[in-house]
């Protein structure tokens, strides 16, 4: 999957991802967060959107397994258990993994679709030592 991922160009830091900087509590409760807020807090934003997406996909897999008698958990959940907080490459792989799961679920819903669901290939970090040393 080529293209840019919003906020995927920076590593996410779990400790910093608990609360967006510079976004007022009013902005969150009123659902008045703007693109400028998202961009200024993109490490938090990408964490929020990605974890929300993964949660929804996990629920869809659980629903399909239970109500449609499918066995998707073993096949797809490993792609949603990733957390790319140590580098942008890992965040990109995590995003592509979630996108793969979405496509795979669409193929279950509409098997005749021409949608291609190919598992992503993990990329090698540019500086593995930096990832290990934090």
Q: In the prediction, which pLDDT does 14 show?
A: 54
Q: What is residue 39's three-state secondary structure? A: helix
Q: In the prediction, which pLDDT does 2 show?
A: 45
- Decide if 30 contacts 114 (C-beta within 8 A): no
Q: In the prediction, which pLDDT does 7 show?
A: 55
Q: In the prediction, which pLDDT does 133 show?
A: 47
Tokens of 69: 């008698």
Model pTM score = 0.69
Q: In the prediction, which pLDDT does 34 show?
A: 79
- Decide if 55 contacts 72 (C-beta within 8 A): no
Residues (pLDDT < 50) of the chain are 1-2, 15-17, 131, 133-134
* DSSP states of 67-110: HS----HHHHGGGTS---TT-HHHHHHHHHHHHHHHHHHHHHH-
């Amino acid at each position: 999957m080529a293209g840019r991922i919003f906020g995927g160009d920076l590593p996410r830091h779990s400790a910093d991802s608990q609360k967006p900087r510079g976004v007022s509590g009013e902005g969150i409760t009123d659902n008045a967060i703007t693109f400028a807020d998202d961009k200024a807090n993109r490490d938090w934003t990408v964490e929020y959107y990605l974890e929300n997406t993964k949660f929804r996909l996990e629920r869809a897999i659980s629903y399909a397994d239970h109500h449609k008698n499918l066995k998707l958990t073993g096949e797809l959940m490993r792609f949603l258990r990733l957390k790319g907080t140590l580098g942008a490459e890992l965040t990109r792989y995590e995003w592509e993994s979630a996108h793969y799961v979405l496509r795979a679920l669409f193929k279950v819903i509409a098997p005749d679709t021409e949608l291609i669901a190919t598992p992503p290939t993990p990329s090698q970090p540019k500086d593995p030592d930096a990832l290990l040393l934090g």
